[in-house]
Every structure is written in structure tokens, then in C-alpha cells.
Structure 1
């Protein structure tokens, strides 16, 4: 099962990707007055990891819930990842390093099979590269309590079920109301940048699981 998926993704990720069209499907829309984020600095670079692994004849990947904090992504569900450091030669190195630091999973260069389209996350002024890796077995997780409140696993085929995508109204920054599409995964609301990244991944997976 995962061997077939690896072969498919390794080849598919070299071709044209759904990109922005897929991202837009899961973009939260403001309710009422529109607002625009303005930054004096260019976007920072970052990367996240979609680490696929087999377990009980299914394919999963880890997601994590961040602790509540004052930043724009506090309390949200995300993929492991973060900001590119000066010590990182590439954004793939960033994704590998952050995955180990946040959830304790070591990933080698050889396990990385490609990446999805870069995503401009205007809420935090980041451009994020989603990296995809495939592991031979379910890893042992060890969370960094400062960065991660909870780690849980998402089943890959669950993502492409129509009922997985829902919509709700959210209030962020105390006063900004949004109509937000989200993935309902393990009874958790996966929205925002993570949902936009997964939206592109879903479009690609539909080609494999059709």
C-alpha cells in the first residue's frame, strides 16, 4: 500500500501541482469589513513536514496542537515545522530539523520524496514549503512541551472523504470574524494555513485513490 503511494507521489510531485487553486478552497474569508495585513519586512521562509507512515494497513501522518499563546497560530492544529534557521542549508533541512525538535521524529534525506507548492501565509508573514516524506513504520513520538500540547495521527484516506471538510465561523485577534472551511480530523478543527496545504495534498491524493 505505502509502496504504491510512494511510487505515485515521487512521480506526481515532479509534475505541475494544483497550487493556489487548491489553497483557495480552504482559505478563511472575513465576515463584514475586509482587512489587509501590512508588513514592512519581506516574508520569512519556513517549512513543514507531512511524514507518511503505515500502521494497521492504513497510511497516517502526524499533526499537532500548539499550546495557547499570543501569536497568530497559538492553540491551532498544525504540521510539524517552523522558521528556516541560518544553520539550515535548505528548507528540506528546516522541515527535518523542526520535525525532530517538535515531535521527536528523525527523518533522513533519503525518506524525503518531494514537496508541495509554497504557501504565502499572510497572517504571520511567512512563505512555507510543505515537504513530504515516507517512513517505513509508525515512529515513536516525543513532543516538545513548549511547542506542542498534543500529537495525534491523521488517516490519509480520511482526508478525501467529502464529510471531512466542514465550515464554521471563527473569531480571531479578539475582533476579526472569519468564515473558515476546515478539516474535521480526530474531532479537531484543522483550518488556516494547514488546511490550505492539506487541500492541495487532497487534490493530488484524489488522483491516486480514485
Structure 2
């Protein structure tokens, strides 16, 4: 049952499975960290996403992402980066004790390390959030049941110089297409939360290394 992933037993299982990576990665330097907010929307387990402002500078403007951003020298560690950025972007305060752990880091095309931090934010009404318009155009959630349906899952093959380079997952049929590193992190999250249900058809090992 998907609801079990938010039960006390499900939380303990996830914390246990993430403990090793969390201990190893938490204090290591990284370029950025994102929060993967696991929430309950009208009683249904879901993940919370943002649509980055189209007015931002850089190549990721207008992309679907998890709340997060660059690590600041004043941040204690990557967990605090993710929590700080979530507050700054969404006005959502997530207590540190709600953090379950760190998923395997992923790397962008510039080989910069992005650290995903999984946290349970409990019951949430996305309409109650007040996103910072300078950073976020929209906030939306996708139920785990939606993400786990095979008709909503796909893969994109990337080529460079006429040669196949790598394959990334993509999640379809929601308010916005979830792709790129955000889709990779979504895949890692589903593998953790629903190991008996989510079976990726293809792997992208070069982006899954931690």
C-alpha cells in the first residue's frame, strides 16, 4: 500500500536505507541541494514540485524542479541548504527532524553535484503556499499513484555529435512534464518508496552515481 510509505514503519524503513548515504554525503561539498517534499494532499501521498520562474537567468528557467538551489558558504551542510532554499522559495518551513535522509547525489551536464534531501512535510494544501514570484512561477503536486502508472512514464534518449550519450526518465500527463535531473531524482525517490511497484525500464548509471 502506498499509504504505508508515510506510516511510522515506512518512515523507519526509509531512514534506515538512507542512513549510509546520509552519513557519507551530508558534510561533503556540493554545488546545490534540493528538497524532495513528500506530502499528503487530501489524504493522498504526493511529491511537491515547482515551476522555476521564466524570469530567472540561466538555462534552467521555466523548468520543473524541486525546491532548492546553490549551497551557500554559511549553510551548515546540504540539508540546511535544501531547507533554507525551500523556505526562501515557498515560505514552507520544514523542521530538520522531518528530514528522512539523503538520496544518492546526481550530477548535471557540467558535472556539478546536486544533493537530493528527502523530507516528509505532512498534510499540505499547495494553494496555501506563497511562492516567491522572483524564483517560482507555479507550485504543483503529483500523486505517487500517478507517477507509478506506466502510461505516465517515459524515457528520453540524448545524443551529442550524432552519437547516443545517455537516457533519462521523464514523467508525463501531469500539469507539466517532469524531466532532466528532477526526473532522475523522482525515479530514485520512487525506487525507495515503492520498491515492489516501481521498476524502471532503463537505467542511467552515469547519473545515478553517488
Q: TM-score, normalised by structure 1?
A: 0.74
CA contact (8 A) 1:103 1:142 kept: yes
Shift in CA distance, 157/47, structure 1 to aligned 2, threshold 3 Å: same
Corresponding pairs, count: 178
1:8 aligns to 2:16 (yes or no):
no
Query: For residues 185 and 102 of structure 1, do their structure 2 counterparts lie closer, same or farther at Cα, with a shift above 3 Å needed?
Result: farther
CA contact (8 A) 1:47 1:130 kept: yes
In the alignment, what sits opposite 1:53?
39
Equivalent position of 1:198 in the other structure: 186
- C-alpha distance after superposition, 1:85-131 (max 9, x if no partner): 111010000000000001110011111110100111125x5211100
Q: Choose from 41, 47, 68 the match for 1:81.
A: 68
Against the structure 1 CA distance between its residues 207 and 87, is the aligned structure 2 distance closer, same or farther, given a 3 Å change threshold? same
Measured after TM superposition, the shift of residue 206 of structure 1 is 2.8
1:64 aligns with 2:69: no
1:166 aligns with 2:162: no
In structure 2, the residue matched to 1:130 is 116
Which residue of the partner structure matches residue 206 of structure 2?
none
1:118 aligned onto 2:105:
yes
RMSD value over aligned CA atoms? 2.7
In the TM superposition, residue 146 of structure 1 has moved relative to its aligned partner by 0.8
Deviations 1:123-180 (A, max 9, x none): 5x5211100111232163110101101000121232222112124689xxxxxxx986
Q: 1:5 touches 1:208 (CA, 8 Å); kept in 2?
A: no
More helix by share: 2
Give yes or no for contact 2:168–2:184 (8 Å, CA) kept in 1.
Answer: no
1:186 is matched with: 174
